[in-house]
Amino acid sequence: MTPATTTLWRHAHLVTLDGDAGWGEVADGALLTEGGRIAWVGPEAALAQGLAGRPAPEAEHDLQGALMTPGLVDAHTHLVYGGDRAAEFELRLQGATYEQIARAGGGIRSTVAATRAASDEALFAAAARRARVLMAEGVTTLEVKSGYGLDATHEARCLAVARRLGRELPLTVRTTSLGAHALPPEYVGRPDDFIDAVCSWLPAQQAAGLVDAVDVFCDSIGFTPAQTRRVFDAAQALGLPVKLHAEQLSDQGGAALAAQYRALSCDHLEHLSDEGVAAMAASGTVAMLLPGAYYFLRETRLPPVAALRAAGVPIAIATDHNPGSSPALSLLLMLSMACTLFRLTPEEAFRGVTVQAARALGLPDRGRLAAGQRADLAVWDAQHPRELAYVFGHNPCRAVIHAGVARATGLTQGLRA
């Protein structure tokens, strides 16, 4: 996968995101990639110095002033599932709520039935189609959760499909085991027995190399804080990092609990309390805001962005792609929504899908343009990075570079090698 070539990208409008704030723009910049990493980045004026003592690059491209940013990171998705929930969408439009549908055995459980019935090939083909749509908008790293199998076999199968995506597509995939997503029909009335089962699957998933992190849906229609704690203890015993679907529909104190386990991220957070904010700030946990679910479920309670900002909690943004609460396949649209609905600045939102999203996955090697970072890059038809949060409904991405190799879209054909 890692190319042996060195490539020089010239005359780019670079958005480095170096430092803790600001875009880190270099108006006329150059960037050298070597073996899948960024070897040098800086202004054109310093290029001679940058290349001094290095072999001549094997390929050179003139970007003619196009915007070049880090590749995007979608750090919260449920990409692997069977079926869809369009009929449930219609039901909600007739007045049923997401919670009512879930309590009546629909919702996540209906997707579980469709997922269990789908073949590995069908699951892979559908997930790969979805991943390619995200990638066409500059996504180079993607997190994928399980959570629609809900037994040992089907959970492992979904995680294996996610791993296969990372092997067969020019994309880095991080997998998250979300067995505690919903109570499957065979455990109705026995949630604690189900939590025992979820904990018992983790060692085998880890031994098979299927899991990078562990997640729980802690909510009134999900699992309790005490049940969440048991799953986190099992994860911790295996050395696996945790994250949490927390405070989406109600305040369960999940974020504060997750912070005790130094969670990578707490996700959703519309009902996050001041105590939750303080606990996340103290543990360095990322606040993963998911405007797609907020929009699609017509939530009215906003995540406490001002409090998160004031406390210095890092904020990330993701699609939360899933069939029930966010059938969105556009991380750029989430930038727009994060600004319009949540009042993030374009810079905060963009950091939220690059450097902060990478942090939420525990991947400090990406999300910025700096020597030593992975050469995961995106090239855009835009004059200024704020335009990426401003436009919606069309895709200004011209090229995607994963591990130093350019893929896809219009610009690559026009590039002079």
Q: What does the binding site for ligand NIG look like in residue numbers (CB under 6 A)? A: 78, 107-108, 111, 217, 245, 248, 293, 320, 322-326
Contact between 79 and 130 under an 8 Å Cβ cutoff? The reply is yes
- The entry of Fe ion, ligand NIG, none that residue 107 binds, CB within 5 to 8 Å by partner kind: ligand NIG
Place of tokens 């003619």: 64
> Measured from the CB atom, is 32 or 211 closer to ligand NIG?
211
Least distance to ligand NIG, CB of residue 349, Å: 19
Least distance to Fe ion, CB of residue 78, Å: 6
- The entry of Fe ion, ligand NIG, none that residue 285 binds, CB within 5 to 8 Å by partner kind: none
Contact between 3 and 405 under an 8 Å Cβ cutoff? The reply is yes
- The entry of ligand NIG, Fe ion, none that residue 115 binds, CB within 5 to 8 Å by partner kind: none
> Measured from the CB atom, is 229 or 268 closer to ligand NIG?
268
The alpha helices in 136-245, defined as continuous H runs, are: 152-168, 191-207, 225-237
Q: Taking CB under 5 A as the rule, does residue 247 contact Fe ion? A: no
Report the residue closest to ligand NIG, judged by CB: 324
Contact between 74 and 328 under an 8 Å Cβ cutoff? The reply is no
- The entry of Fe ion, ligand NIG, none that residue 217 binds, CB within 5 to 8 Å by partner kind: ligand NIG
- The entry of ligand NIG, Fe ion, none that residue 69 binds, CB within 5 to 8 Å by partner kind: none
Contact between 329 and 126 under an 8 Å Cβ cutoff? The reply is no
- For residue 387, CA distances in Å to 172, 236, 412 come to 26, 41, 21
The crossing angle, in degrees rounded to 10, of helices 152-168 and 108-117 is: 70
d(CA 52, CA 47): 8
Say how many residues make up the chain.
417
d(CA 279, CA 257): 8
Residues in a beta bridge with 326: 322
Nearest Cα residue to 404 out of 385, 364, 377, 368? 377
Binding residue (CB under 5 A) for Fe ion from 137, 270, 299, 320 = 320
What SS3 state is found at 218?
A: strand
Return the DSSP state at 396. -
- The entry of Fe ion, ligand NIG, none that residue 291 binds, CB within 5 to 8 Å by partner kind: none
> Measured from the CB atom, is 84 or 347 closer to ligand NIG?
84
Least distance to ligand NIG, CB of residue 156, Å: 19
Least distance to Fe ion, CB of residue 111, Å: 12
> Measured from the CB atom, is 54 or 298 closer to Fe ion?
298
> Measured from the CB atom, is 30 or 244 closer to ligand NIG?
244
Instruction: Classify strands 172-180 and 59-62 as parallel, antiparallel or unpaired.
Output: unpaired
- The entry of ligand NIG, Fe ion, none that residue 324 binds, CB within 5 to 8 Å by partner kind: ligand NIG
Least distance to ligand NIG, CB of residue 111, Å: 5
> Measured from the CB atom, is 107 or 404 closer to ligand NIG?
107
206-219: burial string, b at 16+ Cβ within 10 Å, e else: beeebbbbbbbbbb
Contact between 319 and 134 under an 8 Å Cβ cutoff? The reply is yes
Contact between 127 and 80 under an 8 Å Cβ cutoff? The reply is yes
Least distance to Fe ion, CB of residue 20, Å: 28
> Measured from the CB atom, is 170 or 324 closer to ligand NIG?
324
Least distance to ligand NIG, CB of residue 287, Å: 15
- The entry of Fe ion, ligand NIG, none that residue 315 binds, CB within 5 to 8 Å by partner kind: none
d(CA 386, CA 303): 22
> Measured from the CB atom, is 213 or 375 closer to ligand NIG?
213
- For residue 255, CA distances in Å to 113, 221, 225 come to 30, 16, 10
d(CA 12, CA 68): 6
> Measured from the CB atom, is 6 or 322 closer to ligand NIG?
322
- The entry of ligand NIG, Fe ion, none that residue 6 binds, CB within 5 to 8 Å by partner kind: none
> Measured from the CB atom, is 83 or 396 closer to ligand NIG?
83
Contacts of 171 (CB under 8 A, 6+ apart): 131, 135, 139, 140, 141, 142, 165, 402
Least distance to Fe ion, CB of residue 318, Å: 8
How many chain residues interact with Fe ion (CB under 5 A)? 1
Least distance to Fe ion, CB of residue 288, Å: 9
Binding residues for Fe ion, rule: CB under 5 A, are 320
